[in-house]
Amino acid sequence: MWHNSNAMQFYLSSYKFGNETEKLRCMIPAGSKVAHINNSRDWTDADPVRRAEHQNAELEELHNLGFVAEPLDLKDYFGKRDKLQAKLQQLDGIWISGGNTFVLRQAMKLSGFDQLFEGLQARKGFLYGGYSAGICILCDSLKYIEYVDNPNNFPYSGSSETIWDGLNLFPYGILPHYDSDHFESEAIGKEVQRCIDNKWLFKTLRDGEVIIIED
């Protein structure tokens, strides 16, 4: 358990919902409204049917945990930051899916989520949950995963330049899927070595492991 100087709570899993779902169930009350953000899966050649199936499966999991879950597509808020802020005020938490972290970062910038994040952190009891891209985005930089996720994938018309800065909650990299039965584990191992070579601070997470941050 980590001490949290912010009011927001974090449930950060390496892959999917991890091994601490009973803890997740207790972090916010049953019936809480949680929005599922799937924009990390908007990469240019993504299969829309598979993307929808993925989101529906995770919405069902959130429902099974006792939450009232709904999709939240940041594309609906591109250029509408105030509208997104009003929407977030109606929620008790968000769940951010894995996928391409660089694509997720673009969606966060175009919707203004990145600017709203600091204020969101101050909300007492608000839950930020997610895995893979959903936790890599919280680091100071996306340089740690340059060879795992494609930094040059630009699915949105308003974005054509790689954004390297993360949301800066952590002043180091978090590398999920480390030493795990995951198709990205080998590439993550290479990123770990690159961090060591460059003397970059980092933390690894194996699939199943979860970082929980609460008051």
Give me the average pLDDT of each 10-residue run along the chain (215 residues). Answer: 68 98 96 98 95 97 98 98 98 98 98 96 96 98 97 94 97 97 95 97 98 90
* 36 has catalytic annotation: no
The pTM of the full predicted model, rounded to 2 decimals, is 0.96
Two structure tokens written together for 148: 């795992």
Q: What is the per-residue pLDDT for 3?
A: 46
Catalytic, out of 177, 180, 182, 185:
177
Q: What is the per-residue pLDDT for 1?
A: 42
Catalytic, out of 13, 14, 132, 180:
132
Q: CA 189 to CA 205: how far, in whole Å? A: 11
Q: CA 188 to CA 183: how far, in whole Å? A: 10
Q: What is the per-residue pLDDT for 6?
A: 60
CA within 13 Å, CB half, 61? 17
Q: What is the per-residue pLDDT for 215?
A: 72
The neighbouring-strand residues paired with 211 are: 12
Structural domains in the chain, sorted by start: 2-214 (3.40.50.880)
Rounded to 5°, angle at Cα 69 from 106 and 1 = 75
* 177 has catalytic annotation: yes
